[in-house]
Amino acid sequence: MKRALTRIINWGHELLAEVLEPGDLAVDLTAGNGHDTLMLQRLVGDGGRVISFDVQEQALQATERRLRDSGAAVRRLDAATARSAEPGVILVAASHAELDRYVAAEPKGIVANLGFLPGGDRSLITRPETTLTALAKSCELLAPGGRMAVVVYPGHSGGKEEAEQVDAFFRSLPEQTFSVLCLRVSNRCGAPYLQVAEKNCRSEVPQQQSAKSVPE
C-alpha cells in the first residue's frame, strides 16, 4: 500500500515492523493517545508484551481506552509487577527516565514520539534531561538487532533545544555498536523527523574493521 511520503510516524512504524515479531517485548516511551502503543501491540501480538510510559493521567487513560477497544489485554502496573513476564500491555505512570526500574528484559523495539500530547496541555512537553536519560537507558537495554525509533518535533516552543540534544545523542552513538538513520522532510522547515538506532548483532563486525583485518 502506498503511504504519504512525508508522514514520518509511518516510517518509524515500518522500521519497527521489520524487527518486531509475535511474542517480543516492546517499549513505548511516550504513550500519549496510544497510537504507537497499539501499533506495537499489533506487532508483538497477544503473546508479546508492550510497556508504555507516560507522566499524564489523561494520556494513560486515552491509551488504556484505545487498547481495550482493540481487544488487547491492558494493565496498570508498578515497578515490581511490570518486570514480570506476563504478556499484554502494561501502562506505567512514571517518567521514561525510570525505564530501567520497569523493564527487566531486552526490548526488540522501542518507540518515542516527543513533544506535547495532541489535544492536551501544550505546555507539558518532553524535556531534554529526561528524554536523554531515557534514550541512553534504552540503548543499553535494546536487544541486539533491535531498533529504537524516535520522532522529534523541533517546531513547538522548547522543541528546537530538545531536538538539538537528541540529534547530538544519536550522532554520538558508536558505529561499532549502533547503525543510525535520520529521515527528514527536506523542504518543510520545522517538520518532525525520525531518528532510528539499530543495535548491531554481536556477530556483526563493522565493514571498515573487517577490511583492515584482511592481510594485504
**What is the side-by-side strand order in the sheet with 193-199?**
74-76, 88-93, 49-54, 25-28, 109-113, 147-152, 193-199, 178-183
Across the strands, what pairs with 75? 90
Phi and psi at residue 55, to the nearest 5°: -100, -5
- The verdict on 41 binding ligand SAM (CB under 6 A) reads no
Interacting residues with ligand SAM between 9 and 38 (CB under 6 A): 30, 32-36
- The verdict on 107 binding ligand SAM (CB under 6 A) reads no
Residue nearest to ligand SAM (CB): 32
Q: Which is nearer to ligand SAM, 167 or 204 (CB)?
A: 167
Q: Which is nearer to ligand SAM, 48 or 213 (CB)?
A: 48
* Helix, strand, or coil (residue 26): strand
Q: Which stretch binds ligand SAM (CB under 6 A): 52-60, 77-85, 193-201, 207-215?
A: 52-60
- The verdict on 55 binding ligand SAM (CB under 6 A) reads yes
Residues at the interface with ligand SAM (CB under 6 A): 30, 32-36, 53-56, 59, 95-97, 113, 115, 117, 124, 126, 130
